[in-house]
Amino acid sequence: MAAVDLATHPGHLARRLQQAHYLLWNTMVSEETTSPQYAVLNALVAEPGLDQRTVGERVGLDRSTIAEVVSRLGRRGLLDKVRDPQDGRRSLLRLTDEGLRVHRRLGVRIARMNQVFLAPLAADEQAVFFDLIRRVADAAEGLRNPAEPAVAPG
């Protein structure tokens, strides 16, 4: 069997892209706060008082991952859980003052990291890049049966 050209395999390229992002994140943004943790902080800045399930949906994290991220952020004092007054079985998430400070501080670093990350692309190419990866990511989240690939519009 002949070797395949991995440059034509989206999973391989996505993994390489993720490795580059991870390296830049750890060197330019934070070794303490992960990208998924920041995404949760950001979701709660945008919409304070969401429940854990909804935050997970907003940032694309499964139930077990969002539970772990929320637990870690809570232990660090960056968010609090409060009982939903309309449904006592449900907890709502709110950032603490420290959580808001961390979000603000990291936001500046992330902007710089994104400039470095996207530097190989011209501004118009960046817009196309975001459109394409967003479409693939959105379609991947909507897959019900991986054996039946999503069909391109057209």
Q: Which CATH number fits domain 18-141: 3.90.550.10, 1.10.10.10, 1.10.357.10, 1.10.1040.10?
A: 1.10.10.10
Q: What pLDDT was estimated at residue 146?
A: 54
The pLDDT of 7-26, averaged and rounded, is 95
Run of H or E including 120: none
Confidence of residue 149 (pLDDT cuts 50, 70, 90): low
With pLDDT > 70 as the criterion, what percentage of the chain qualifies? 93
Is pLDDT at 135 greater than 80 in this prediction? yes
12 appears as a binding residue in the annotation: yes
Q: What pLDDT was estimated at residue 131?
A: 96
Is pLDDT at 57 greater than 70 in this prediction? yes
15 appears as a binding residue in the annotation: yes
pTM, rounded to two decimals? 0.85
What percent helix, strand, coil does the chain show, rounded to 5? 65, 10, 25
The pLDDT of 53-64, averaged and rounded, is 93
Q: What pLDDT was estimated at residue 91?
A: 87
Run of H or E including 89: strand 87-95
63 appears as a binding residue in the annotation: no
With pLDDT > 90 as the criterion, what percentage of the chain qualifies? 80
Cα–Cα distance measured from residue 100 to residue 75, given in angstroms and rounded to the nearest whole number: 15
The pLDDT of 82-88, averaged and rounded, is 87
Is pLDDT at 150 greater than 70 in this prediction? no
Cα–Cα distance measured from residue 68 to residue 65, given in angstroms and rounded to the nearest whole number: 5
The pLDDT of 107-128, averaged and rounded, is 97
91 appears as a binding residue in the annotation: no
> Which residue ranges make up each domain of the chain?
18-141
Q: What pLDDT was estimated at residue 93?
A: 97
103 appears as a binding residue in the annotation: no
Q: What pLDDT was estimated at residue 144?
A: 47
